[in-house]
Structure 1
Amino acid sequence: MLLFKLECKRLFSGLINKLVLLLLVVSGVLAIYQGAQGYKAQRIDQYKSTVVFQKEREHVSNRETLPEAGSLAYYAAAPTQWQLSPWAALFVGETPSSMVASKIRATALQGQIFNREIVNPTQQRAGGLDLGFVLVYLLPLVIGILTVTLIADEQHAGRWRLLNALPSSAFSQVLRQLALRFVVLWLLIFLLLFSAALLLSLPFDATFWVVLTATSVYMLFWFALAGFIMSFSKSGVFNSLAYLSSWVLVAILIPGAVHLYLANQFSSNAPLEMSLKQRMVLNDGWDKDKQTTLDEFLAIESQWQNTAPLGAAFDWKWYYAQQHMSDLAVAEQWQSYIASSWARQERLAALSVFSPALFFQLRLNQLANTSSRSQLEYLQEIGAYHQQVRHFFYDFLFFAKPVTKQDIANFPLFKVTTQATNLRLVELLISSLLVLLLAGIAAVRLKRVAAC
């Protein structure tokens, strides 16, 4: 007990140790606050989109004369929602750079997805901060500062031989020091997660415990790495540089190389190319024979073939036929883009095993439904909903049916699908075993150093 009190006093007496622990806590609190504000803004945006659309529908229904179907279809912007997990407040993933409440009309889909400014530059912060950033990048640095020079400091102070002379070996003393630091950091992380769960009303379900367990395994990896570096019995400067170099390699260089490789393997210009081609086809349609365009459309959408031919005046059904034909002009590119994006995500998941930091970050985003995979699922849901909206209005456009108030009430709404959280317990188990293996190797080497 006396040695434990002494170790606690040594841990909390150093100014650097106090500062890094305070930095970790302050950064965690700020990350939770900022993430909560961003998530709140996203939820408000989704709620406003739904309320505004409902008000617009009520306004149209209360009019004495209802607008014609073509005009109604042009202005009816139906809201959609990217169904985020409540954990998106802590692990924001892809949500800051993507729309989470896109509005869909019966016009060309590609023009609505890509022909807009996804991010307002004036609203961008200089760097994002969420709890995922604190856990993935800042926590390993704190671990390194608290641990990697333990043996070197004892040797420099001349206490190493004294520790070997004690009834408990120097190896046991080092393990106690490492265990104490692990417990202190684990308790801080637990308090941050627990406080965030209470403040943000996050459920204490399996996701909470998987996040905590995954964070514990990630911490154990960096503690094992610090122990492995200390086992070479080098100076404190060498240990610090070795640990920092390992952090740069694992957290920055390998993820950067992976993303650079994926950028070269999978083209990122597809959205721009699709948007440009779709817009050109749409604009060129005004100079082509409109009946020919309509016939081409009806050959594909055969359920509306029993429509009257076009007259000399402008006809909404040609307009929406041309809109859809511009989508079909890039349909192959769209499918290729979706397939390529899925392949990219699979390749990224496979390559992430070379970087514990990248692997950990991807899994946190997946648990929060804020990953690129969730974004792709949302895009596909938008595509399916867009078809529902088109077909709803086509009945009125092609068969000259008048729009009634009951029809407005029956307008199809976007059905929010709850994405199943993939906990991937097998991956967590395998990761734990690998980290324990590294910890075992480090422990064996440390024991040899202590015996010298």
Structure 2
Amino acid sequence: MLVLLFKNFIRSKGTKIGLLFLLIIGFISLLIGRQFQEKQQNNITEAALYQKEHIARNAAFHKDEIGLLLYYIKFSLVNNTLPINSLAIGQRDVNPSIQSVTIRGLEAQKYDSELNNPSNLLSGNIDFSFVLLYLFPLLIIAFSYNIISEEKESGTWKIVATQTPNTFFYILKLFYVRILSITVLLTLILLAAIFFLQIPIDKSFFLFYGLSVLYILFWFAVCFFIVSFQKNSNFNAVILLTIWLFLIIILPAGINTYIINKYKVPEALELALTQRNAYHEKWDMNKQETLDKFYNHYPQFKNYPLPDKEFSWLWYYAMQQMGDDESSVQSKELELKLKQRNQASELIAQFIPTLHTQIQLNEIAKSDLRNQLLFLKETTKFHEKLRLYFYPKIFDNAPVNQEKWEKFKVETFKDNSEASFMKAFLPLFIFNLVLIVFGWWNFKRNVF
């Protein structure tokens, strides 16, 4: 029976065209992921080469003052990009994966980003997560909306009902054939991704695959529930497309607007301006007052007195440090608000399967907002480490040629947090179970 149902299903030209179309779009998404992966790798390679040449060139040119040299030199920190990130690009197409900073004021540098075409950022990348979230449900709806109504409308349902001992199991078999076809298509695309994108078969991949399967089952469960009312094909199609529009576009947009208005963040540009203004006003202030604030922040440098001359690098870098200190309130507020946005999104998404899937896919791929916040925190630690290393050398005016500049390589931040199977799977599993139970109840109380 199953073989016959499968042959009947796959024989349709619409079925073949739909599966082929989604397969092609899936492979195109892998190609886009590959391009993103290569761009990220090229950026890292170029950053490493640039830093090496940049430091060597400046060290050769500014031989006399290490304070002047370190005014120009930039050091880079890379946010490690996993191969699976190519399947769910997430925040990585907006936020930079490389931070290049000097030891001057950090807040004016931390939120620098790459120049991108705003139209491209608005449309986003057609990565695999986009194909899964937006296009797979449409094909599922196209395959399932008339699973009973078509035969009722053509007058063949009574024949099927008389020849089938259990019509409910027959309906389950119809859904099984469609579920199997879509799942095989998903598996083919992800198997191709393993080889094409060099994705390791590890916990992250199994989480990604399992979540994708559960998301597909969710849309089949939605179709099963709507079909269980046994309305006509037009009614089923309109309701299912309305649900798709509501869950994919309208509801996420509404929630995003709510979160943005509830947790208003200070602009990064405003934060940078605050830092710069705090630094620039120090030119007109008493130098010792600036140094006293600097000593309060770094008591270990109190043994470096203010030199009796018009300009000193001790005073200059103290001004830079004070700029960061005086903008720290806004910086912490921005970080807190972004954390609150992320937490609110994750909490609300548990009750919205489409949003939950999108957030979890990005979390598995380390391309979510939480990862970006961890990267910014690591950038702050990286910057502080550089300051603490170079401040004594600047204040002592250490010879430039005695420093081994070649040892300063591009450093990499690795997000070691692990996604949870329970957190990723449980909400979708519950939604699927509820829809199937209610669908079964409708079939049971309705007479075929």
Deviation at 1:217, TM superposition (A): 1.2
Q: 2:164, 2:142 → 1: CA distance?
A: 29
Deviation at 1:69, TM superposition (A): 1.2
The residue type paired with residue 384 of structure 2 is Q
Q: 1:65, 1:339 → 2: CA distance?
A: 40
User: Structure 1, residues 255-303: CA drift from partner, whole Å, max 9, x if none?
Assistant: 1122111101111333232122112222222233334323322232221
Query: Which of 111, 114, 120 is matched with 2:116 structurally?
Result: 120
Give 1:232's aligned residue.
Answer: 229
Question: Where do 5+ consecutive residues of structure 2 fail to align?
Answer: none
Distance 1:195 1:5, change over 3 A: same
Give 2:375's aligned residue.
Answer: 378
The residue type paired with residue 20 of structure 1 is G
Given that 1:69 and 1:396 are in contact with CA atoms closer than 8 Å, whether structure 2 keeps it comes out as: yes
Give 1:31's aligned residue.
Answer: 29
Q: 1:122, 1:316 → 2: CA distance?
A: 40
Given that 2:64 and 2:399 are in contact with CA atoms closer than 8 Å, whether structure 1 keeps it comes out as: no
Greater Cα offset, 281-290 or 258-267: 281-290
Give 2:100's aligned residue.
Answer: 103
Query: Which of 5, 8, 22 is matched with 1:7 structurally?
Result: 5
Where in structure 2 are the equivalents of 1:127-146 lying within 5 Å?
A: 127-146=124-143
Q: 1:128, 1:167 → 2: CA distance?
A: 47
CA-atom RMSD in angstroms: 2.2
% identical equivalent positions: 26
The residue type paired with residue 140 of structure 2 is I
User: Structure 1, residues 159-180: CA drift from partner, whole Å, max 9, x if none?
Assistant: 1111110133332222111100
How many equivalent pairs are there? 447
Q: 1:395, 1:408 → 2: CA distance?
A: 16
Given that 1:207 and 1:367 are in contact with CA atoms closer than 8 Å, whether structure 2 keeps it comes out as: yes
**Structure 2 residue 191 is the aligned partner of structure 1 residue 194:** yes
Given that 1:144 and 1:240 are in contact with CA atoms closer than 8 Å, whether structure 2 keeps it comes out as: yes
Q: 1:30, 1:377 → 2: CA distance?
A: 31
Distance 1:134 1:110, change over 3 A: same
Distance 1:374 1:5, change over 3 A: same
Greater Cα offset, 298-307 or 322-331: 298-307
Give 1:300's aligned residue.
Answer: 297
Query: Which of 173, 182, 186 is matched with 1:185 structurally?
Result: 182
Where in structure 2 are the equivalents of 1:1-80 lying within 5 Å?
A: 3-59=1-57, 63=60, 66-80=63-77
Q: 2:273, 2:180 → 1: CA distance?
A: 56
Give 1:257's aligned residue.
Answer: 254
The residue type paired with residue 117 of structure 2 is P
User: Structure 1, residues 23-81: CA drift from partner, whole Å, max 9, x if none?
Assistant: 211111111110111122012112221222123345566x4983421122112111111
Greater Cα offset, 204-213 or 344-353: 204-213
Given that 1:160 and 1:170 are in contact with CA atoms closer than 8 Å, whether structure 2 keeps it comes out as: no
The residue type paired with residue 133 of structure 1 is F
Distance 1:67 1:174, change over 3 A: farther
Distance 1:251 1:320, change over 3 A: same
Deviation at 1:330, TM superposition (A): 0.8
Give 2:337's aligned residue.
Answer: 340
Q: 1:417, 1:224 → 2: CA distance?
A: 38
Given that 2:30 and 2:197 are in contact with CA atoms closer than 8 Å, whether structure 1 keeps it comes out as: no
Given that 1:396 and 1:403 are in contact with CA atoms closer than 8 Å, whether structure 2 keeps it comes out as: no
**Secondary structure, in 3 states, of the residue corresponding to 1:419?**
coil
Question: Where do 5+ consecutive residues of structure 1 fail to align?
Answer: none
Deviation at 1:410, TM superposition (A): 5.4
Give 1:391's aligned residue.
Answer: 388
Tell me the TM-score normalised to structure 2 length.
0.93
User: Structure 1, residues 106-159: CA drift from partner, whole Å, max 9, x if none?
Assistant: 011011023x45442279364321000111111111100100111110111101
Give 1:424's aligned residue.
Answer: 421
Given that 1:254 and 1:354 are in contact with CA atoms closer than 8 Å, whether structure 2 keeps it comes out as: no
The residue type paired with residue 399 of structure 1 is D
Deviation at 1:8, TM superposition (A): 2.7
The residue type paired with residue 56 of structure 1 is H
